[in-house]
Homo-oligomer: A and B are copies of this chain.
Amino acid sequence: MLSSPEEIREQLSAHGIQPTTQRVIIAQAMLERCAHYSAEDVFVLVNRESPRVSKATVYNTLGLFAERGLVREVIANPDRVFYDTNTTAHHHFFNTTTGQLIDIPAESVKISSLPAVPSGMKMEGVDVIVRVRPDPSRNP
């Protein structure tokens, strides 16, 4: 992934996001490894060594990043919104027992038919969430 502050700043600018100190810190932390982060995850990650970004800023920033397409909002768990640094088209396994999300590459899912979008509406995207859980009978 990208890592130098330089590259991060460019990425932010490319998405129309003003690269402030805190935004660079957050983007760097998130893009370092591909994962699904809750707001709390990011808050902890970013302030691990020393307090650098406030909670309000984390929330604002995640919202902004999602709006500008730098990360993607994934909603599978009622308790938490996740922000996915993988913004390419893809889907998810959702472990209903642990709440964990696992990416499914777009190619693995083929949707051969979809209904017409209601009139006056425009399709934004399609999310496929495959709910799974540990199988007691197969994993003794």
Contact = CB atoms under 8 A, between A and B. Distances in A.
Interface of A: 73, 75-78, 81, 93, 95-96, 102, 104-105, 108-115, 117-118, 120-135, 137-139
Most buried by B among A96, A128, A134: A128
Contacts of A130: 114-115, 117, 123, 125-127
A131 B120 contact: no
A105 B116 CA distance: 12
Contact of A126 (B125, B128, B134): B128
A113 B113 CA distance: 12
A109 B109 contact: no
A76 B129 CA distance: 11
A118 B92 CA distance: 12
Q: State the oligomeric state as a number of copies.
A: 2
A115 B118 CA distance: 29
Nearest to A92: B127
A114 B120 contact: no
A39 to B, nearest CB: 10
Given A102-B118, A120-B135, 12 more contacts: A75-B76, A93-B121, A96-B124, A109-B115, A121-B134, A122-B135, A123-B131, A124-B132, A127-B128, A127-B130, A128-B129, A129-B129
